[in-house]
Amino acid sequence: MYNLSEKALNLWGKKNINDDHEELWLPLIVHLIDTKNVINWLYNHWLDQGQRNILCQNFESEEEVQNLVKFVGYIHDIGKATPAFQTKRSYIHDENLDTDLLERLIRAGFNNLDHFASVSAKESPHNIAGEVILEKRGLNKCIGAIIGGHHGKPVKKNFDYDKQYSVWKFNYLQYVQNNLDYKAKAQENWNNVQDELIDYGLNLCDFSSLSDVPKITQAQAVIIEGLVIMADWLASSEYLETDDGKLTLFPLIKMSQSANDVNSEQRFENAIINWKSTDKWEPDLITDGTQNYQKRWHFSPRAVQAKMTKTIDKANDPGMIIVEAPMGIGKTEIALTAVEQLAFKTGRNSLFFGLPTQATANAMFSRVDTWLSNISKDQGLKLPIKLMHGKAQFNSEYESIPHAENVAIDEDDGAVVVNSWFSGKKSILTDFTIGTVDQLLFMALKQKHLALRHLGLSGKIVVIDEVHAYDVYMNSYLKKAIEWLGAYHVPVIALSATLPVERRNELLAAYAKGKYGKKKFNATGDWKDKQSYPLLSILDGNDLKQVDNFDKTEQKTTKVEVKRINFENEELINRINSSINDGGVAGVIVNTVKRAQALARIAGTNLPSDVRILVLHSAFLANERTKIEEKLQSMIGKDGQRPEKLIVIGTQVLEQSLDIDFDVLYTDIAPMDLLLQRAGRMHRHKIKRPENLKTPRLYVMGINDYGDYGDANEYIYQKYLLMKTDHFLPETIVLPDDISDLVQKVYSSDTDDQVENIMDAKDILEIDTKKAKAKAKGFQLAPPARPNKFKDIHGWLDNGKLNVDKDENRAQATVRDIQESIEVILLKHVDDHDYLLDGTDIGDLSEDSRDKIIAQQLIRLPHAVTQDIDQAIKELETITSEYYPNWQTNSVWLRGSLALPLDEKLNCDFNGYRLHYSSKLGLSYEKIES
């Protein structure tokens, strides 16, 4: 029973009609108590110890923190205790439902409420109204801003609650025309009921007044903001859908029932039992690194792996860890072992693993899934996993993982599962997430519900693979994200085979600034210019420790011959073919899709039938690209079935993380670190090779003359970096010994005076760098406030490009500084009939799988074809509604999708371009001459 007045008990928080046309409602007090109970449980059982440690900073006891968290959960919807909200129409616009609840309020004592009609209710939405009500009564702004922002965006920086209240006063207190007595009485009713609900919550959470509620730091405020959003969403979930039906969470009640008919404790316990379908990882202390490698991967660590693992184990307060080591040395195993070590040390029990591309994320997902399965079986736990990128739903391995609610495990068993509740914006809250690095970069992008992303990442150990692979613009977002991770004391592991010294130092400084409020840390020796390789750098507390004395006796070295060539495409293909006359696998990595397609066309026409040709780039249907990647791995991956003669032609997607092995490689000119990454795709595995290919050779194309690399290459990469790469590129490279030296020479300004005519290119680089940083800053989150400084989150997302909130493609374009483009579904449409592009009749597909299969026919249109993106979308929407009108209303998989039908020859004319799709070459386009 609630010890509250009839007025307080009859305020509604939610209302609806069920499938049986029954009127349902939820008393406001019930939702407030539900949310308090949920957030308290999340604090104790869902947050990890590392997050709780951040929340407990500056507090005398954890009990005080817990009381604060419970109070924020309880009081978050106090803004619904206003006439503006209580007279609000239902979302389903059911007049009977609205009238019945209004009459209930009138019977409870809110006289004349049926005559109240605010024309300005939208000016005081309940989240803002809640902040005004509380700050007007003495609540500090640190907590008030959380209430105002619990729907995803805090109010602006200089928010004036007095002005909001005075201008829109009658949204807060009922106004009755021409009756002063009723007016005074009505306003007294609302003041009293608001006070009553506030006092009730203060008493429940052991505070005597609003002024006793403590102030908090900005980092604490963001975590609590994310936590209250999560708790509110969970407490607002009526049911959880499963394969066996619905599980009850926090349902509405019948109109005939009242708040006193609800047992909140029993309701909460039942909901949590039904909702909690996965376990929390309980990290163990690793006492023997070698034994752990054997247990997880069934091999003993290499000397470099063993020493890095042992060094990480000795860190007392590990923060930022940077692993620089050769391709193929086993950095992934070092990282995942470190995750286990750091989880135990720092009180974290979850992981985010970020990679440059969807292809590399897919490959890493498989490895992390295996690692996590090993852990889950060790501990007999159900551990949740999530693949996070735009095509995750098309990854067959991920789709085959069972849903948590459908898996029952024995005490001595375990399982890796997908938790269905953690979807959409809640995905990042999943304990083990693998995805493109965008998911981390979004942490620095002003975006609605950003606190939810910070909540998810603040509880994880973060691993960033290929950390060298990001340009100035993306690196600006990465550094900002790392600052925030530092503010949350999140351990970060960055992996790279080719990291410039300046980039390493920037990452370390960003983390230190976030954690300690300054970029400086304690370091000795030549750390600023250290070029040792391999190298392990650890910020242990505020001390930088570096280890470089590794035993290299077991380290394989590879001498790569480097040759510059410059042939027309047809001659180039003939040369490539000649290099594998006696068998072998040749890789061709070029810098544009158009160039890859042009070379593939010539190869397909000119080469004999015994030479297999495989093309991989970004302009394939999502499902076909996945199949090509899998085929590539099966042929030239580790233990692959290598064909006698194969030419693989692709773009930059071939240079990152894919464990493939070429006998010989042809590559367009690129910055030194990327050339070395490409070279690392040669001779990776111990296999027998044709006699003439036993020496790895790297053929570098696109150098017309010193300083002339062609418009396409210079558009993609800075001319300054290409000129320095051209200058320092030797005739022989010893991998991995030469990697660091060559990378540092290209990226260090100290070597500029060695390079002829470099200054003009350097001036352009500096101008472009400033522009990129300025552009990135416009959409970026400010850096975290200094530790231990009380600061509210008013204005936290001001001036952000919040239209990225509902469009991940647009958000991705923002953090990557790429030209925004459109994804479409390609189908073949002939004689009013539809086919997949492989000729499959859509009518022959089963109803259960049809829409999902159609949704996989997804591709991104080239920017050239959609330069006026809004006009292109409008035209595509018209086409889609004409050809496929049922997609928007009848299909979960296809709702919101855009279609582009092709003719029987897989052509179409769109926006002044002729598009053609080929399963061998992908999507190509040519401008239609007028």
CATH number for the domain that contains residue 36: 1.10.3210.30
Residues 98 and 234 in one domain: yes
288's CB contacts (< 8 A; 6+ apart) are: none
Residues 233 and 327 in one domain: no
- CA 411/CA 871 separation, integer angstroms: 58
* pLDDT tens per residue across span 9-60: 999 999 999 988 899 999 999 999 999 999 999 999 999 999 999 999 999 9
Phi-psi bin for 565: left (phi > 0), alpha (psi -120 to 50), beta?
beta
What count of Cα atoms within 13 Å lies in the side-chain half-sphere of residue 32? 29
Does any domain span residue 803? Answer: no
Q: Is 546 helix (H, G, I), strand (E, B) or coil?
A: strand
E strand map for 308-377:
318-324, 351-355
Residues 611 and 642 in one domain: yes
- CA 787/CA 108 separation, integer angstroms: 48
Does any domain span residue 108? Answer: yes
Q: Check residue 327 and give its pLDDT.
A: 84
Of 731, 756, 781, the residue that ends a domain is 756
Residues 256 and 346 in one domain: no
Q: Is 425 helix (H, G, I), strand (E, B) or coil?
A: helix
Q: Check residue 433 and give its pLDDT.
A: 98
Residues 844 and 703 in one domain: no
- C-alpha triplet 478, 484, 486: angle, nearest 5°: 100
- C-alpha triplet 35, 36, 37: angle, nearest 5°: 90
Residues 586 and 486 in one domain: no
884-892: long-range contacts at Cβ-Cβ below 8 A with a sequence spacing of 24 or more? 891/851, 892/851
Does any domain span residue 719? Answer: yes
- How many domains does the chain contain in total? 4
The residue among 538, 537, 532 whose CA lies nearest residue 550 is 532
Q: Are 901 and 883 in contact (CB under 8 A)?
A: yes
Q: Check residue 246 and give its pLDDT.
A: 87
Residues 470 and 570 in one domain: no
Query: Which residues of the chain fall short of a pLDDT of 50?
Result: none
- CA 328/CA 837 separation, integer angstroms: 38
- CA 37/CA 231 separation, integer angstroms: 9
Beta bridge partners of 436: 355
Q: Check residue 863 and give its pLDDT.
A: 85
Q: Are 27 and 42 in contact (CB under 8 A)?
A: no
Q: Check residue 407 and give its pLDDT.
A: 82
- C-alpha triplet 198, 134, 39: angle, nearest 5°: 65
Residues 323 and 368 in one domain: yes
Q: Which two tokens stand for residue 1?
A: 């029973």
Longest dimension (CA), the chain: 102
Does any domain span residue 812? Answer: no
- CA 369/CA 360 separation, integer angstroms: 14
Q: Are 175 and 127 in contact (CB under 8 A)?
A: no
Does any domain span residue 785? Answer: no
Does any domain span residue 784? Answer: no
- Give whole-number Cα distances, 372 to 68, 297, 401, 432, in Å: 35, 11, 13, 9
The residue among 281, 278, 279 whose CA lies nearest residue 421 is 278
Q: What are phi and psi of 900, to 5 degrees?
A: -135, 100
Beta bridge partners of 352: 433, 462
878's CB contacts (< 8 A; 6+ apart) are: none
Q: How far apart are the first and last CA of the chain?
A: 78
Q: Which two tokens stand for residue 628?
A: 């090509």
Of 713, 732, 756, the residue that ends a domain is 756
Q: Which two tokens stand for residue 681?
A: 């795709």
Q: Check residue 394 and give its pLDDT.
A: 79
- Give whole-number Cα distances, 907 to 39, 576, 615, 759, 865, in Å: 55, 31, 20, 47, 14
Residues 263 and 333 in one domain: no
Residues 99 and 179 in one domain: yes
DSSP conformational letter for 543: E
Residues 369 and 462 in one domain: yes
Q: Check residue 811 and give its pLDDT.
A: 65
Q: What is the CATH number of the domain that holds 503?
A: 3.40.50.300
Residues 260 and 294 in one domain: no
Q: Which two tokens stand for residue 751?
A: 């070597």
Q: Which two tokens stand for residue 656?
A: 């990152």
665's CB contacts (< 8 A; 6+ apart) are: 586, 587, 588, 589, 678, 679, 681, 682, 696, 697, 698, 699
Q: What is the C-alpha radius of gyration for the chain, rounded to an integer number of angstroms?
A: 30
Q: Check residue 803 and give its pLDDT.
A: 61
**What domain range is 464 assigned to?**
289-547
Does any domain span residue 798? Answer: no
Of 715, 734, 756, the residue that ends a domain is 756
Does any domain span residue 159? Answer: yes
Q: Are 815 and 356 in contact (CB under 8 A)?
A: no
Tell me the one-letter amino acid at 281: W
